[in-house]
Amino acid sequence: MINHELQLKKGVSYLKQLREAVDISQESFARKMGVSTKTVYRWEAGVYSVNFSGSQWKVFCKEVLFPLGIDVLDIPDDLGAPYVEIA
């Protein structure tokens, strides 16, 4: 469970919220991940499943998770899914 100072918004994908929390644009994130901006948009919209390669996981951890102090075990299985608060 992500339980940090990060205030997650309902209905917005985890990936988008995490990316924005570290102030990385879709364009910059796409370059770092080696994909198109359209792919990042589709991940965040839930059109494509987020299925990172090993090297992409390393970039994601370095650029997003580590700066936010989030352990990879604390993220949801589907990063593209919208955040839903669990009671």
- Residue-range domain boundaries for the chain: 14-74
Low-confidence stretches of the chain (pLDDT beneath 70): 1-5, 85-87
> 14-74 belongs to which homologous superfamily?
lambda repressor-like DNA-binding domains (1.10.260.40)
Distance CA 57, CA 80 (A): 15
- Looking at residue 11, its pLDDT comes to 86
pTM score of the predicted model:
0.84
Cα distances (Å, whole numbers) of residue 14 to 28, 58 = 17, 18
The pLDDT tens digits of the residues spanning 13-38 come to 999 999 999 999 999 999 999 999 99
